[in-house]
Amino acid sequence: MTFEPRIVGFLCNWCSYAGADLAGVSRISYPPNIRIIRLMCSGRLDPVIILETLAGGADGVIVMGCHPGDCHYVEGNLQAERKIRMLKKLIARTGLEPERLRLEWVSASEGGRFAELVKDFTSQLKKLGQSPLAEEKPDTKILAGVLAAKATAADFRLRVLVGKEKGLIEDANVYGEKVPEEELDKTMEEAIDAEYLRNRIYLMTKDEPLSVKELSKRLDLDPKAVLRHIVVMRRRGLVAIDRVEGTTPFYTALKVE
């Protein structure tokens, strides 16, 4: 039997869902691999939900919203775009293919485009193969990565950066300065890196106390960098020293309220 990818589609009510309706009304056929979930706006989609879906074994997730300028809620679709951009960077770090997540604009009159996109995504995923997180044999390493990513996406820092991205670029920060887009991109990149690793560390140390050396081995990361994260995490009250073996402290995750 050939591999049939399972796709979850999150569609905005006003344009894309209507576009999918029109594909049906026009009897345009497309692969039956997509399962559609209706949202009021593509901007509604919390990154955590997408990561949850991927962790749940979806072979692909496609988010569809109104074309820029068409959003029923002014610019929720652009917010979605920012989130997806961040998510793709995050996913890239987990070992899961970021191509499993797509964002597309489909208007209410683009039944053909909807079908075309589903067709295209399905064949793209067929080439990519089954998700390593699909039920039968989830790749534990990648799963750990995705779960860390999920935790990262739920964290304050990235969310605030994404949420304020538009304001920072277009208006100004509290000091009345506009932040150049490239600069913000760099900040974002660094934040993704840092927060993702911290969450990895947190999840690892939740299972068992680990030393910097061990963490560095498992994360394939310079011990110095690991230690820097540990320091930050200790300050935030995320990890504490469980025990010291010889001169080596072992860290363990703290429960967070």
Which residues, 170 to 199, sit near another protein by CB under 8 A?
none
Nearer to another protein, 60 or 209 (CB): 60
Is residue 203 close enough to count as binding another protein by CB under 8 A?
Answer: no
Among 18, 192, 212, 230, binds another protein (CB under 8 A): 18
Nearer to another protein, 156 or 224 (CB): 156
* φ/ψ (deg, to 5) at 45: -75, 115
CA neighbours closer than 13 Å in the CB half-sphere of residue 156? 1
Is residue 6 close enough to count as binding another protein by CB under 8 A?
Answer: yes
Is residue 138 close enough to count as binding another protein by CB under 8 A?
Answer: no
**β-bridge partners, 245:** 248
Site for another protein in 19-48 (CB under 8 A): 20-30, 32, 35-41, 43-48
Among 93, 101, 104, 111, binds another protein (CB under 8 A): 111
CB 123 → another protein: shortest distance, Å? 16
Is residue 83 close enough to count as binding another protein by CB under 8 A?
Answer: yes
d(CA 171, CA 151): 29
Sheet order of strands, 239-245 included:
210-211, 248-253, 239-245
Among 17, 121, 196, 202, binds another protein (CB under 8 A): 17
Which residues contact residue 164 at a Cβ distance below 8 angstroms, ignoring those fewer than 6 apart? none
d(CA 231, CA 169): 31
Q: How far, rounded to the nearest angstrom, does the alpha carbon of residue 211 sit from its chain's CA centroid?
A: 28
Beta strands (DSSP E) in the chain are 7-12, 34-39, 60-65, 101-105, 210-211, 239-245, 248-253
Nearer to another protein, 172 or 227 (CB): 172
Instruction: Please choose, out of 52-60, 177-185, 232-240, 245-253, the segment that lies near another protein by the rule CB under 8 A.
Output: 52-60
